[in-house]
Structure formats: C-alpha cells, structure tokens
C-alpha cells in the first residue's frame, strides 16, 4: 500500500492548475504567510526580482510594491491562464507597470536578465527537472544575490526537501540561513560568485 501511495502522491511531479490557486491565493493566507514579513528583509527598492511560479500574484504584487517605481518583478510561469489572472490583479493593485509577465516552458525559465533576488515558493516540487531549474536561477542571479526556496511541509517530505537543498548547493548556491515559515521547509541561499 505504501508503494502505491508513494507512486501516486510523493514522487509524482505535478503542476498546480490555475483554477485551484483561488483556494490559497486569498486574504486568509496572510494569517500564515505575510509577504511583507517574509520578503521585506531581502528585497530593496530598485531591485530586479524573479518570482518563479507566481500563481495569481500572492507574492508578486507585494514584491512590486517593495521594489518601487524603478524596480521590476519578473513573474515567470508556464501557464498563461495564471499570468492572465496575475495581470488582472496587478492592474487592480496599480503595480502592473512594475511586473513583467513571462511565459516560460517546462524545460526553461527563458530569462536572460540579471536578477537581485529570486523566489520559488511552494513550486520546486512541481518541476520535472529541478536541478536544471536551480542551475538556471544561479546563472541569472547577480553575485551576492539571494534565492529563497520554500516548499510545503504537508506534501514535501524532509528527505525530498534536503535533496532539493543538495541540488541547490551543487548548482553553486551557499545556504545563508534556514527560515521558519509556517507550513513550510525554507532556506535562504546566496550566490557567492
């Protein structure tokens, strides 16, 4: 029975459908994941930030406020419907000019800009080849840039998360600190060179 469970739920890579994001991209989520408390220590005005798998903008819109009028947030997703929903929310929030919507492919982010901060919140486990993704993030992050990787503790085991951390280190990242984020396994990485 355990083998069947593992095959169906633990090892299976999946993509969160765009229509499901309404269940966790909402006001009540701020009670457990306050974007300002989680991200403000790492994001400055004028930064270029990459939000990978942004959903409908739960972190993207607050990030756009943090980077200010001269900063930029690149929201990279493989689902056009997700980016469309994010765009509508960003327009309502008045920050759409600071957000660059980027349709990636399952094989590559396809971003060529140098970024100051990258966020992968509850999405690394959905990527078919997370090693390649982590190497790609490392390649576009400026030296001294930060990368926050957070995974849901409810369905990403500690062993799976530790494997992701090892892959991040192999990609060239150094662990700066472990973070306590509700319902999550989290670490902040730095690119040394």
Over residues 121-127, mean pLDDT: 92
Residue pair 46/68 in contact (Cβ under 8 Å)? The answer is yes
> What pLDDT is recorded for position 28?
76
At 86, give phi and psi (nearest 5°).
-60, -45
- Tens digit of each residue's pLDDT (9 = 90 or more) over 21-69: 555 565 676 778 999 999 999 999 999 999 999 989 999 999 999 999 9
> What pLDDT is recorded for position 193?
76
How far apart are alpha carbons 47 and 91 in whole angstroms? 20
Exposed/middle/buried for residue 87 (C-beta within 10 Å: 0-12, 13-18, 19+): middle
Using alpha carbons only, give the angle 149, 155, 161 rounded to the nearest 5 degrees.
Answer: 40
Least confident range from 11-20, 114-123, 174-183: namely 11-20
Question: Which pTM was predicted?
Answer: 0.88
The beta-strand segments (E) located in the chain are: 48-52, 72-77, 99-103, 115-121, 141-152, 173-179, 184-191
> What pLDDT is recorded for position 93?
97
> What pLDDT is recorded for position 23?
56
Percent of the chain whose pLDDT exceeds 90: 78
> What pLDDT is recorded for position 147?
98
Over residues 113-126, mean pLDDT: 96
Over residues 164-181, mean pLDDT: 97
Q: What is the mean pLDDT of the chain?
A: 89
- Tens digit of each residue's pLDDT (9 = 90 or more) over 74-114: 999 999 999 999 999 999 999 999 999 999 999 999 999 99
Percent of the chain whose pLDDT exceeds 70: 85
Token pair, residue 123, equals: 């999405």
**Residue ranges of domains in the chain, CATH in brackets:** 31-191 (3.40.50.150)
> What pLDDT is recorded for position 12?
40
* CB proximity list for 70: less than 8 A, separation 6 or greater: 45, 46
Tell me the DSSP string of 112-137: -S-EEEEEEES-GGG-TTHHHHHHHH
> What pLDDT is recorded for position 11?
38
How far apart are alpha carbons 158 and 181 in whole angstroms? 14
């Amino acid at each position: 029975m355990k083998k069947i469970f593992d095959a169906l739920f633990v090892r299976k890579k999946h993509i969160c459908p765009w229509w499901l994001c309404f269940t966790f991209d909402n006001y009540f989520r701020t009670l457990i994941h306050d974007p300002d408390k989680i991200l403000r220590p790492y994001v400055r005005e004028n930064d270029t930030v990459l939000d990978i798998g942004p959903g409908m903008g739960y972190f993207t819109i607050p990030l756009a406020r943090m980077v200010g009028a001269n900063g930029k947030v690149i929201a990279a997703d493989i689902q056009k419907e997700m980016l469309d929903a994010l765009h509508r929310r960003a327009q309502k929030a008045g920050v759409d000019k600071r957000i660059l919507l980027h349709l990636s492919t399952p094989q590559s982010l396809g971003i060529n800009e140098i970024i100051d901060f990258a966020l992968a919140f509850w999405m690394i486990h959905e990527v078919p080849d997370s090693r390649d993704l982590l190497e790609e993030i490392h390649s576009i992050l400026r030296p001294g840039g930060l990368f926050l990787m957070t995974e849901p503790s409810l369905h990403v085991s500690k062993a799976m998360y530790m494997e992701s951390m090892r892959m991040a280190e192999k990609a060239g990242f150094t662990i700066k600190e472990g973070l306590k984020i509700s319902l999550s396994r989290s670490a902040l990485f730095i690119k040394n060179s």
